[in-house]
Structure 1
Amino acid sequence: MRERLLVLLCALARRAGGRRRAMAGRWDGPQRRAWIRHYYSQRQKRLMTLLIARRRRTSCYFYPRAWPSLQSADWWERVVLKEFGPQDWLEKFRMSRETFFYICNRLRPGLAPHSSHFHPTLPMEKRVAVALWHLATNVEYQTLSPLFGVGPSTVQTCVREVSYAVVLLLKPLYLRLPDEKELENMVRIFRTRWGFPHCIGALDSLHIPINPPLRLSADYCNGQGWHSILTQATVDGLGQFWDVSTAFPGSMENSAVLESSSLWMLAKEGRLCPNPPKDFMGKAQKYVLLGDATYPLQDWILKPYQEDESLTQRQLQFNYRLKRAHSVIENAFLRLKARWQILLKCDDCSLELLPTLVLACCILHNVCEAHDNPFNEEWLEGTEPTELPKPCQPAPAAMEDGRAEQVRELMCQYFENCGEG
């Protein structure tokens, strides 16, 4: 009986297939193309569903039997922890061994192990090492995974989890709004190191090259014709970041980013200076930030005079002093990109993770600078590719504050009185 039923089913299937083939032969071109589009559309949806489900299941588990070609599972314990010297730690992790384990101890509450008997998790220090190596070298996940004896998806997970932990646990310590006493110390450092008075920071932007989604390609195309995300940052006189706003589309102008950032709100609320403001040249004056021509002139943001033949000697001197002091953030960006070369080109990183990754790199930069970790000048090679010029769109005149001209004049008077060139 079963054999007869099977023969009957096969016959019906052949008959139905013949009808479909006959019907397909009568399809015209548009009908067939529509069917093909529908088929591949549904197939793409199924593949994306499977991919999303797989991503949700990924974690920092490692499977020794699942990766027979990975022979370096003990490389971390056997080579790095036992044989790496100071220069090796600096070259591979961009920090000293002491700073590395300091960071590990700080991140421990956010990277607690969550393993089971069947799926052991990677040691916390190894997860941090994988993430820092990727941030420092920008090598692909597939290239880095054999080095640590883990899969590419595990490398990606380590980068994501460690970046989130850095922002969650280290940002309150190393990237925060200074209090009143710290602001006074920043003013002193800018005056003694850079010769610019009443200043608490330098303000600038950083464009980070990316491969954007096709549907957002126009939004992330900047004024120079390449795709980027825009990061606005402020540094103190030592080149350490104390305010960072990131993940703006590259098509936005610096002035628009400033107006959308938390720094703008802090300034408008008067939280960037003591209340009442400190005395400067006989007048109560807010602390100032130093910007370039892409930022609007405000009573708390100074920028150079527009260069032309009508500038006086006082104004030329002001421009020289401001540009020299503003170079502290240009140097900070160079050191940031040289130390964490993931910022030279974010190919493997999703747009959702990018803000966290950029913040994590700025925080780790501050940690290394605060702990006096050496900086290798050779890292600077290739940090400024000539084929990617920086966009430079002047700030609109509508954002200019007329009262700010008096502040610039006070600064010109200060430089003239102090006699410094």
Structure 2
Amino acid sequence: MEEEEEEERLRPFVFLMTYMLLKRRRDLNHADIQRRNEIQRRIRHRQYFFQRQRRMLMMMMAGGIRSNVRIRTRPWSTTASTDWWERVVMTEFQPSDWLDRFRMSRETFFHLCDELRPRLTRQDTSFRLALPVEKRVAVALWRLASNIEYRTISGLFGVGKSTVCRCVRDMCHAIVALLTATYLRPPGEQELDDSAQLFLSKWGFPHCVAAVATLHTAIITPSNNASDYANPAGWLSVLSQVAVSGRGIFWDVCASFPGGTDPADIFQNSSLWATAADGGLSPDSQTTFMGKPLRYVLLGEACYPLQSWLMKAYPEEKDRRGSHAALTEPQRLFNRRLSRALRASEEALLRLRARWQCLSKRNDCGLDVVPTMVLACCILHNVCESHGDAFEAKWQAEVAEAESPQPRHRPLPSTCSDQRHADEARNLFCDYFEEQNN
């Protein structure tokens, strides 16, 4: 009887010990399976790595053998791309070749490479040598100057298409990051005075330091909000606003706006507007014109609001019968002189598009790259102009034949955003031109 009671009391303990032993055995088996799977995974990974390394070595050896055979047996059929860059471009290019291919002189090219070297230098890897900075800049400049396909530039320089794209992106970002403070900055007091003298001597418009204009760059159809990019001419574009000095140098550039944006909205929200409204165009507060205090002015198209520091043409207002009311002779004379002076910005933009034809033809880059590319091209324009690089008339002829005309924006109604008493400043210029004419 006592044995049965003892057995009954120990039975739960026996069951518990049995369960724990079985669980321990199951855990050991599971751990052993995981260990075997991990060992097999590492073995497969190592085999794949060695196979890949062996394939790469075989491809490199085969490529070397094919190139050696091709050069020995058919030296006339093809030339290695590295030989074209290292021997032809770097040693045999004449000054006219540098200007025609890269849109700048050899001296300016190497100066640009030295300026961009901190951002464009890359380290060699175990599988390939990094492209030299000079070759990266040459690839990007060739693309900006010609707007030809990546595939063509890839075969020309002996690099991959993705490398061409990366060179263009990297150089544009490097130019904006490193050169903006030097070549695209607000003018100083002496530069304002010099620009005013140039506008008077070259364009016949006094007391003016810059002309404001717009630039439309054709793009491919974006994936979102395509209708916002349709400009007044009906094609898709990115809109930029520029301010051009009397020397044809860009002082201020606002890019990245859809082509359907109102230029007046861009202008009124730009830093140029804030600077001019605060009197930044004339550091000397004693500036006078026609015997009255007046700061230097900007010239703008009819789509901008009239301000005391921004002159635009007199509109031809309609009378009650709907016909255009005739302007006075001084007003017509002012409009003619203003139209002539606005050619400063028109010629600068034409030279910009002719030198960097990625802005004159449809740009097939992504929308995240186009604004940076526009800024970079404006800075490169200033670099070339500052270094005195020649400009070929044939570039301008090519652009005039190939590109679509720049859209014309509708005139802004005079009652919308014109500054009060701004017409008094415009009347001073009418008086000046009338005196000069008499």
Question: What interval of TM-score do these two structures reach, taking the shorter chain for normalisation?
Answer: 0.7 to 0.9
Deviations 1:163-200 (A, max 9, x none): 11111122111111011222112111111221211101
Specify the alignment match of 2:289 in structure 1: 280
Report the AA paired with residue 366 of structure 2.
S
Specify the alignment match of 1:391 in structure 2: 408
Is 2:131 aligned against 1:122?
Answer: yes
Say whether the 8 Å CA contact 1:254–1:393 is kept in structure 2.
Answer: no
The higher radius of gyration belongs to: 2
Is 2:239 aligned against 1:222?
Answer: no
Measure, in 1, the Cα distance between the counterparts of 2:271 and 2:210.
Answer: 15
Say which is worse superposed, 396-405 or 296-305, in terms of deviation: 396-405
Say whether the 8 Å CA contact 2:146–2:357 is kept in structure 1.
Answer: yes
Report the AA paired with residue 139 of structure 1.
I
* Cα pair distance change 1:386/1:109, threshold 3 Å: closer
> Out of 395, 402, 416, which is 2:420 matched to?
402
Measure, in 1, the Cα distance between the counterparts of 2:286 and 2:251.
Answer: 20
Deviations 1:307-335 (A, max 9, x none): 45521221111111111111011011111
Measure, in 1, the Cα distance between the counterparts of 2:61 and 2:310.
Answer: 59
Measure, in 1, the Cα distance between the counterparts of 2:369 and 2:406.
Answer: 25
Specify the alignment match of 1:244 in structure 2: 253
> Out of 314, 320, 343, which is 2:330 matched to?
314
Secondary structure of 2:430's partner? helix
Say whether the 8 Å CA contact 1:190–1:200 is kept in structure 2.
Answer: yes
> Out of 196, 215, 222, which is 1:213 matched to?
222
Measure, in 2, the Cα distance between the counterparts of 1:64 and 1:185.
Answer: 60
Specify the alignment match of 1:231 in structure 2: 240
Aligned pairs for 1:123-138 within 5 A? 123-138=132-147
Deviations 1:123-148 (A, max 9, x none): 00000000001000001111110100
Deviations 1:277-315 (A, max 9, x none): 511111111211111211111111101112455212211
Give the C-alpha shift of residue 155 in structure 1: 0.4
Give the C-alpha shift of residue 275 in structure 1: 4.7
Q: How many pairs does the alignment contain? A: 358
Specify the alignment match of 1:154 in structure 2: 163
Report the AA paired with residue 186 of structure 1.
S
Is 2:153 aligned against 1:144?
Answer: yes
Give the C-alpha shift of residue 65 in structure 1: 8.2
> Out of 339, 361, 365, which is 2:381 matched to?
365
Measure, in 1, the Cα distance between the counterparts of 2:364 and 2:211.
Answer: 31
Aligned pairs for 1:336-347 within 5 A? 336-347=352-363
Say whether the 8 Å CA contact 1:71–1:146 is kept in structure 2.
Answer: no
Deviations 1:191-242 (A, max 9, x none): 1221211101011001111013232211111122110000100111111101
Measure, in 2, the Cα distance between the counterparts of 1:140 and 1:87.
Answer: 23
Measure, in 1, the Cα distance between the counterparts of 2:96 and 2:368.
Answer: 34
Measure, in 1, the Cα distance between the counterparts of 2:417 and 2:297.
Answer: 17
Specify the alignment match of 1:253 in structure 2: 262
Say whether the 8 Å CA contact 1:137–1:340 is kept in structure 2.
Answer: yes
Specify the alignment match of 2:346 in structure 1: 330
TM-score, length-normalised on structure 1? 0.81
Measure, in 2, the Cα distance between the counterparts of 1:136 and 1:66.
Answer: 36
Say which is worse superposed, 300-309 or 95-104, in terms of deviation: 300-309
Say whether the 8 Å CA contact 1:73–1:150 is kept in structure 2.
Answer: no
* Cα pair distance change 1:64/1:399, threshold 3 Å: farther
Specify the alignment match of 2:188 in structure 1: 179
Say whether the 8 Å CA contact 1:211–1:227 is kept in structure 2.
Answer: yes
Report the AA paired with residue 408 of structure 2.
P
Report the AA paired with residue 272 of structure 1.
L
Deviations 1:8-36 (A, max 9, x none): xxxxxxxxxxxxxxxxxxxxxxxxxxxxx
Measure, in 2, the Cα distance between the counterparts of 1:252 and 1:212.
Answer: 16
Give the C-alpha shift of residue 387 in structure 1: 5.1
Report the AA paired with residue 365 of structure 2.
C
Specify the alignment match of 2:370 in structure 1: 354
Give the C-alpha shift of residue 361 in structure 1: 0.3
Aligned pairs for 1:33-182 within 5 A? 71-182=80-191
Say whether the 8 Å CA contact 1:230–1:246 is kept in structure 2.
Answer: yes
Measure, in 2, the Cα distance between the counterparts of 1:386 and 1:372.
Answer: 26
Unaligned runs of 5+ in 2: 1-58, 68-78, 317-323
Is 2:427 aligned against 1:418?
Answer: no
Give the C-alpha shift of residue 98 in structure 1: 1.0
Matched residues, percent identical?
49
* Cα pair distance change 1:418/1:65, threshold 3 Å: farther
Measure, in 2, the Cα distance between the counterparts of 1:386 and 1:73.
Answer: 34
Unaligned runs of 5+ in 1: 1-62
Measure, in 1, the Cα distance between the counterparts of 2:329 and 2:126.
Answer: 75
Secondary structure of 2:412's partner? coil
Specify the alignment match of 1:16 in structure 2: none
